[in-house]
Amino acid sequence: MLTVTVRRLLLAIPTLVALTALLFFSVTKILGSPASMMLGEDASPSAIAELNARYGFDRPAYVQYVDWLKSAAMGDFGRSYTSNDSVGAAIAGALPVTLELSAWAILLAVVASVGLNSLPNMPGLRRIVVLANLIGITMPNFFIGISLIFLFSVELGWLPTTGWAAWSDGIVQHMQHMIMPVLTLSAYYFGAFSLIYRAEFSEVYRLLYIRTARAKGLPPFKVAFKHALPNAILPVITFAGLSMGQLTGGAVVTETVFSMPGIGRLFVSAIAGRDFPVMLAIGMVVVVGVVIMNLVADILYTVVNPQIRLE
């Protein structure tokens, strides 16, 4: 296991370099001159030249990228162009909020989709699950979030409308602020995981060893959860691992709707203020997150199903 992990980590290094290079040149070159975007279209050439010299935008692009990558590898993402605050400090303050929101959302989506779709056929429950799948996949996050606010906050008054409460404010208050954002963010992934898992579960359930277990008279729940689930859940693990890194996109909308001080909301502010260091830092966090979660998903394969060995 250790050898496989080290090998995967070594293979991840060139992937990270390629992705971060694409990220850097996309933000600083393809989107336009950083100085021009920061100062606006009416800025004079002398003002643009002065800003280019101040921040080093006039240097060759590859030199800028190497310097940025070296600093980022050391945890130094520079300072914000709009507030002059440390970008690393801003990321450190916002990242735990997004990580917790994403972790709860993925956990809920995986457990609910796998658990509900592993149950023996019950027509009434099956219709409810299919309806929930359609709602999660087709409805945008902001609509689900606003609907939850209207139902649970405005009409019923059970949960706070928006905002964020830290763990230090109390477990109950913290979880009350987390319920609706987690439900909103997990809705799409519940639907997607359900479709993937149900298709794989149906294939596994037709295999010979499942038919043998059923012929022996094993209870349907034991056949489904002990024998079919470990093989059917593998594609869900892969998708869930990759989704953890991609959840920042969904978190942008969710955190904005519920006024949560996470990475998504910080990214929206950076785009509005053309704050390139913040945009690059958040992009770096997402890229590293995707690579790491892909590695974790590969390793979990052998944990869930020991018959599989990574080569």
The pLDDT tens digits of the residues spanning 265-282 come to: 888 888 777 778 888 888
DSSP code of residue 120:
P
Res 301: pLDDT: 64
Res 97: pLDDT: 87
Res 310: pLDDT: 46
Res 33: pLDDT: 66
Residues in the chain where the model's pLDDT stays below 50:
310-311
Token code pair at residue 159: 């949960």
| pLDDT tens digits, one per residue of 244-258 | 766 766 677 888 888
Res 231: pLDDT: 78
Q: What CATH class has 96-304?
A: mainly alpha
CATH 1.10.3720.10 in the chain is located at: 96-304
Res 63: pLDDT: 82
Res 304: pLDDT: 58
Q: Is the pTM of this model over 0.85?
A: no
- Measured between alpha carbons, how far is 66 from 52 in angstroms, rounded to an integer? 17
